[in-house]
Structure formats: structure tokens, C-alpha cells
């Protein structure tokens, strides 16, 4: 599902360098990404989602070499194929919860907003315990509720790849278990692949494999 070769990345500003000689994630694998704050976990997810582009090397996702794609094509690819739960949620303040969840369907013709999709959106929200918050604006939500709305939005199109950036970070233990169950159920039912950044070591046994960012530390930087 994901192949990375000879990846080199740096931001225009700052010292940070990310070098990944090789990394592969198989179709259907559930992989946890761990590592200290600032080690580049979010940067890696942004590269895999095509939000950033590598300086060198290649990134192939679902057999598409997205590192070669131009901006518009990478964006389309991301919206249709990847469910991204952002660390800072990236909900739109001027939309209520249900409109945030449906938003990807309104910005691309590649996703068709049908009654069925609308129904599933409500079902997902109910499953995550925010079914009674659909008309609220994101400024009126707790961190945990924002996070759950962001997860609904990411799962709704049944993406083949789910990238989750500390998706359980703001949740109490009960909600954490529930959300993880829902994430894993969705991954299984849509035969998706999951790459999830987590700091929660007690969750690691639920994954097939752990990628530790300490292995990619670039002390030369």
C-alpha cells in the first residue's frame, strides 16, 4: 500500500531533516508509528498524504507514485483515497459538525454526496457518541468531540488508507476504546490500511507492527 524509497525531506526553514531509506506498509496492515515529539511523525504522514513533497526519493501509495504528481492531482488523490485524521483536527469553524463531516464531498466531484452517504455520516457520528452534536459549530465542541468529528470525516468515504495522527490523544479511556474499535472495524470492513501515530503504548498490541522514529533520527542535522 505504501512504498517509500530514499526519501529526503526538509522544510524551507529550520534545521529539521527527515531521511527514510526504505519503508513499506502492506495492504491491510495496521501499523503504529511512535517516536518522540518533533521527530517527524506528522511530517511523514503529510508526505504520504501528498500534502508535502519530498526533496528526493519516491513515495508510492496504492500503486500511484504520488511524489511525482502535481499539486491538483495529489489533492484529488488525497481526498478520494486517504482518510486523514489531523493532529489539530482541521475542522472548519464556519461549518457545523455534520457539514464538516460532509465537506470533502462538497469540494470534489470525485465523491458523490448521496442520501446513503448522508445516512452513513449520521451513523458514524452516532457510533462515536456525537450524534447529538451535529448542528454545533466546532468552537462549541470539546477537544475530544472535535477529534471524533475529524475521525467521522476521515472515515466517511471509506478510504483505502487511513492516516491517524494521535487520533486518541484527547480522549478519556472509555471513548478511546470506543473510537479505536470503530477505527479498526472500519479498517477491516473496507479492507483499508491503517497508519496511526500514537503515544499510547497500551494500544500498541492492537497493531500488526510498530515503526519507531528513533530509527530515522538524523543526528547529522
State yes or no: residue 147 binds Mg ion (CB under 5 A). Answer: no
39 binds ligand ADP (CB under 6 A): yes
Nearer to ligand ADP, 42 or 168 (CB): 42
* Ordered strands of the 161-165 beta sheet: 82-85, 161-165, 193-197, 30-34, 209-212
Nearer to Mg ion, 19 or 76 (CB): 19
Q: Taking contact as CB under 6 A, which single stretch among the options 10-18, 69-77, 144-152, 179-187 is the one that binds ligand ADP? A: 10-18
- Which of 4, 30, 35, 42 is in the footprint of Mg ion by CB under 5 A? 42
d(CA 213, CA 137): 36
Return the number of the residue (16 or 184) whose C-beta is nearest ligand ADP.
16
Pairing of strands 56-61, 2-10: antiparallel
CA 64, 179, 144, 201 torsion: positive or negative?
negative
Site residues for ligand ADP, 43-72, by CB under 6 A, read 43
Number of residues that bind ligand ADP (CB under 6 A): 12
**Residue ranges of the alpha helices (H) in the chain?**
41-48, 71-81, 97-107, 115-127, 143-155, 173-189
Residue 173, contacted partner among Mg ion, ligand ADP, none, CB below 5-8 A by kind: none
Select from 37, 63, 139, 189 the one that contacts ligand ADP (CB under 6 A). 37
Nearer to Mg ion among residue 7 and residue 164 (C-beta)? 164
Binding partner selected for residue 39 from ligand ADP, Mg ion, none, CB under the kind-specific 5 to 8 Å limit: ligand ADP
**Out of Mg ion, ligand ADP, none, which partner does residue 11 contact, by CB within 5 to 8 A per kind?**
ligand ADP
Q: Which range, of 37-45, 61-69, 73-81, 183-191, touches ligand ADP by CB under 6 A?
A: 37-45
Kind of pairing between the strands at 161-165 and 17-25: unpaired
200 φ, ψ to 5°?
-95, 95
Kind and range of the H or E run holding 60: strand 56-61
Cα–Cα dist 176/6, whole Å: 35
d(CA 177, CA 167): 12
**Residues within the interface to Mg ion (CB under 5 A):** 41-42, 87
**Residues within the interface to ligand ADP (CB under 6 A):** 11, 13-14, 16, 35, 37-43
Amino acid at each position: 500500500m505504501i512504498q517509500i524509497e530514499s526519501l529526503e525531506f526538509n522544510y524551507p526553514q529550520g534545521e529539521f531533516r527527515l531521511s527514510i531509506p526504505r519503508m513499506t506498509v502492506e495492504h491491510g496492515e495496521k501499523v503504529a508509528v511512535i517516536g518522540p515529539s518533533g521527530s517527524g511523525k506528522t511530517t511523514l504522514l503529510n508526505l504520504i498524504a501528498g500534502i508535502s513533497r519530498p526533496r528526493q526519493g519516491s513515495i508510492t501509495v496504492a500503486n500511484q507514485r504520488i511524489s511525482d504528481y502535481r499539486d491538483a492531482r495529489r489533492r484529488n488523490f488525497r481526498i478520494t483515497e486517504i482518510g486523514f485524521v489531523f493532529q489539530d483536527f482541521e475542522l472548519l469553524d464556519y461549518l457545523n459538525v455534520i457539514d464538516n463531516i460532509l465537506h470533502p464531498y462538497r469540494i470534489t466531484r470525485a465523491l458523490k454526496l448521496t442520501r446513503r452517504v448522508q445516512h452513513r455520516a449520521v451513523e458514524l457520528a452516532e457510533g462515536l457518541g456525537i450524534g447529538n452534536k451535529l448542528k454545533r459549530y466546532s468552537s462549541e465542541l470539546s477537544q475530544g468531540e472535535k477529534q471524533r468529528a475529524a475521525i467521522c470525516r476521515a472515515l466517511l468515504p471509506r478510504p483505502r488508507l487511513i492516516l491517524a495522527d494521535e487520533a486518541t490523544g484527547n480522549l478519556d479511556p472509555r471513548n478511546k476504546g470506543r473510537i479505536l474499535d470503530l477505527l479498526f472495524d472500519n479498517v477491516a470492513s473496507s479492507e483499508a490500511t491503517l497508519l496511526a501515530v500514537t503515544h499510547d503504548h497500551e494500544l500498541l498490541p492492537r497493531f500488526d507492527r510498530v515503526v519507531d522514529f528513533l530509527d530515522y533520527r538524523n543526528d547529522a542535522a
